[in-house]
């Protein structure tokens, strides 16, 4: 049977339509399918490699495993760099980000956050210099480093403007580092006077390296840490929110927080996009 050009083009269009998934199909997760999570394993006690076994461990790892179990599935960890996490989520290479990511407005255009922990950037110095930093004001004019891939450098600059410059003191010299581990290395080498990282991580860090670091003041911005899901996937947000609520209700969440010394940073209830 001979077909006209129009008929042939129509058949080709129909075939293409059948093979191209809809946006919903791209973002929907089959019931019981594993959840793929982006993680950066260099931020203890949130996530890191156990030195004895080289296996992923930490608060986020335990929480992710517990969430997956509540949903009757498993979690697959996809190690990546911090600056690749959002693009991995946007392109569908991962389903979620569960890696100590701070819930800030600039990120909410692309993702929805299920907030699960309090946090805040905090200054710290080498312990042998503790006497020089009786207050946060002593940091004015000093060189302070923090991971350039986080919001910390911007927050340090804002604190400096409000507390150093306005008081007629020299501003903090902000130095972006290649992650928090690099900031600690530069601090030990004397290339930085102080560093900044999430206050919830400092007690663990100080326990692992006794008599090495000294916190200066308290966290100077209040923030939340959130599990990130693309805004196109409301179904997964609902699934994970329900599972998180159940972990909070049955005490599992509190036990995981206590295991990692994070009970003072735990939340009493689920929060979405820092809104509640």
Q: Do the domain assignments include residue 109?
A: yes
- Do 35 and 97 belong to one domain? yes
Q: What is the pTM of this model?
A: 0.77
* Mean pLDDT of all residues in 156-180: 97
- Do 237 and 211 belong to one domain? no
Task: Say if residue 39's pLDDT is above 90.
Answer: yes
Q: What is the per-residue pLDDT across 135-149, written as a single tens digit (0 to 9) for each? A: 999 999 999 999 998
Local confidence band at 6 (pLDDT 50, 70, 90 cut-offs): very low
Domain edge (last residue) among 199, 216, 233: 216
- Do 204 and 261 belong to one domain? no
Q: Do the domain assignments include residue 1?
A: no
Range of the structural domain that residue 81 is part of: 10-120+223-272
Report the domain count for the chain. 2
Q: What is the per-residue pLDDT across 223-267, written as a single tens digit (0 to 9) for each? A: 899 999 999 899 999 999 999 999 999 999 999 999 999 998 999
Angle formed at CA 119 by CA 115 and CA 120, multiple of 5 degrees: 135
- Do 28 and 148 belong to one domain? no
Q: Do the domain assignments include residue 212?
A: yes
Task: Give the other-Cβ count within 10 Å of 137's Cβ.
Answer: 13
Closest to 117 in 3D by CA, of 219, 225, 43, 200:
225
Q: What is the per-residue pLDDT across 48-79, written as a single tens digit (0 to 9) for each? A: 999 999 999 999 999 999 999 999 999 999 99
State the burial class of residue 163 (Cβ atoms within 10 Å of its Cβ: 0-12, 13-18, 19+). Answer: middle
Which strands, in side-by-side order, build the sheet including 173-177?
A: 173-177, 143-147, 194-198, 121-126, 213-216
Residue 151, domain CATH: 3.40.190.10
- Do 227 and 107 belong to one domain? yes
How far apart (Å, rounded) are the C-alpha atoms in residues 45 and 77?
Answer: 17
| Partners of residue 97 on adjacent β-strands | 38, 228
SS3 call for 117: strand
* Mean pLDDT of all residues in 200-221: 92
How far apart (Å, rounded) are the C-alpha atoms in residues 6 and 205?
Answer: 69
- Do 116 and 15 belong to one domain? yes
- Do 25 and 99 belong to one domain? yes
Task: Say if residue 29's pLDDT is above 80.
Answer: no
The pLDDT, as a whole number, for residue 32 is 75
Task: Name the least confident of 4-18, 28-42, 156-170, 190-204.
Answer: 4-18
Q: Do the domain assignments include residue 4?
A: no
Domain edge (last residue) among 186, 216, 246: 216
State the burial class of residue 224 (Cβ atoms within 10 Å of its Cβ: 0-12, 13-18, 19+). Answer: buried
- What's the mean per-residue pLDDT of the chain? 88
SS3 call for 103: coil
- Do 197 and 242 belong to one domain? no
């Amino acid at each position: 049977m001979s077909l006209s050009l129009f008929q042939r083009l129509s058949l080709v269009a129909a075939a293409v339509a059948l093979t191209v998934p809809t946006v919903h199909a791209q973002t929907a997760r089959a019931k019981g399918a594993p959840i793929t999570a982006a993680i950066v394993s260099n931020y203890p006690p949130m996530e890191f490699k156990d030195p004895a076994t080289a296996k992923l461990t930490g608060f986020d790892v335990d929480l992710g495993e517990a969430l997956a179990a509540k949903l009757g599935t498993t979690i697959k960890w996809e190690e990546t760099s911090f600056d690749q996490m959002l693009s991995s989520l946007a392109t569908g290479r991962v389903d979620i980000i569960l890696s100590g990511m701070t819930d800030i407005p600039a990120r909410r255009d692309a993702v929805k956050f299920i907030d699960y922990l309090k946090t805040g950037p905090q200054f710290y110095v080498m312990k042998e210099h503790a006497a020089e930093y009786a207050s946060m004001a002593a940091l004015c004019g000093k060189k302070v480093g923090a991971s350039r891939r986080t919001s910390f450098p911007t927050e340090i600059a804002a604190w400096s403007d409000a507390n150093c410059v306005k008081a007629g003191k020299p501003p903090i010299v902000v130095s972006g580092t290649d992650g928090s581990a690099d900031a600690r290395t530069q601090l030990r080498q004397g290339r930085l006077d102080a560093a900044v990282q999430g206050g919830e991580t400092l007690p663990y860090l100080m326990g692992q390296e006794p008599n090495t670091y000294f916190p200066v003041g308290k966290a100077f911005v209040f923030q939340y840490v959130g599990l990130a899901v693309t805004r196109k996937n409301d179904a997964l947000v609902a699934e994970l929110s329900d599972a998180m609520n159940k972990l909070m209700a049955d005490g599992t969440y509190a036990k995981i927080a206590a295991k990692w010394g994070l009970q003072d940073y735990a939340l009493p209830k689920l929060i979405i996009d820092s809104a509640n």
